[in-house]
Amino acid sequence: MGGEEPREPRAELPAATVERLATYLGVLNTLDARGVATVSSGELASASGVNPAQLRKDLSHLGSYGIRGVGYDVPSLRFHLDQNIGSAEDWQVIIVGVGNLGRALVNHSGFSSRGFRVVALFDADPAALGQIVEGHRIHAMTELATVVTESRATIGVIATPADAAQAVAEQLVAAGVGCLLNFAATGLELPSGITVRRVDLGSELQILAYHRQRSLADAARTDVQVSMLGD
C-alpha cells in the first residue's frame, strides 16, 4: 500500500461529505482490524448509517475504488480515504483542560488509529500541574506558546468549562494553532481562517431523543393499524 500515489481531490470537498468520509474511514479501520478484506457498498453504507447511493456519491469525489460484483478492497479504500482527508499524516494535538473529559480524550484510541498524536496537556488548576497522564506532563498555560512551537502542534482540543473556553481559544490561536476542536458548551468568536469544530454533547443527545421519540411513535401507529385490521 505504501507505494500507491494518492489521487488528488477534484475540488474542495463539502463539509458534510468530509464528515461522512471520516465515518466511512472509522468503519474501514474496524473492518481492517478484524481482517476483513472486502466490503460491499451496502454493507459499508449500513454500518455508516447512510444509504448506498449516498456512499457511492461521496466516494465519487475521490474517484471510484469499487469493483462491480465484488465491492471495495478494505485496505485500499482505507488508504485512499486516509490520504484524501488528511489523517494519513502525523498530526500533533494538544489538549487544554485535563478534567474527566480531558483525561478520557487522552486515552481515546481513535486519535492514534487515525494519525493524531497527543503531544501535550495543559490546565489552569495549580493542583494538576506536573501530573503525568498517559505519559504526558500537565503544563501551565504560561508554557503554551513555547510547547506549541517546539511540538509543532496544529490542532488544539478545548475541554475546559464554558466560561474559560474563549480565552483558551484566543491563547491557542495566538500561539499559532489554527484548528480547534471545542468540547466546551459555548460558541467561540475567532478570526477568519481559524477552523473550529464544536462537539455539543447536549445537542447530540437531543437528536438521539428525537429519533427515539419518532421510532416509538411509528411503532405505536403500527400497533394501532394492526389492531384496527384485527377488528
Helix (H, G, I), strand (E, B) or coil at 59: helix
The grid coordinates of residue 8 equal 488528488
pLDDT given at position 231: 62
- CB count within 10 Å of CB 134 equals 9
Quick one: pLDDT at residue 2? 39
Residue at 104: amino acid letter = A
The position carrying cell 488528488 is 8
Please tell me the pTM assigned to this model: 0.67
At residue 197, the 3 state secondary structure works out as strand
Write down the pLDDT at residue 4.
41
Output the tens digit of pLDDT for each of the chain's 231 residues.
Answer: 433 444 444 467 788 888 899 889 888 988 988 899 999 989 999 999 899 999 989 998 887 677 777 789 998 898 888 877 765 567 899 999 999 999 999 988 667 767 788 999 999 999 999 999 999 999 999 999 999 999 999 999 999 999 999 999 999 999 999 999 999 989 999 998 899 989 888 877 877 887 788 888 878 777 667 666 666
* pLDDT score of 174: 95
pLDDT of residue 226: 66
Q: What is the pLDDT of residue 32?
A: 86
Which H helix or E strand runs over 167?
helix 162-174
Q: How many Å from the N-terminal Cα to the C-terminal Cα in the chain?
A: 63
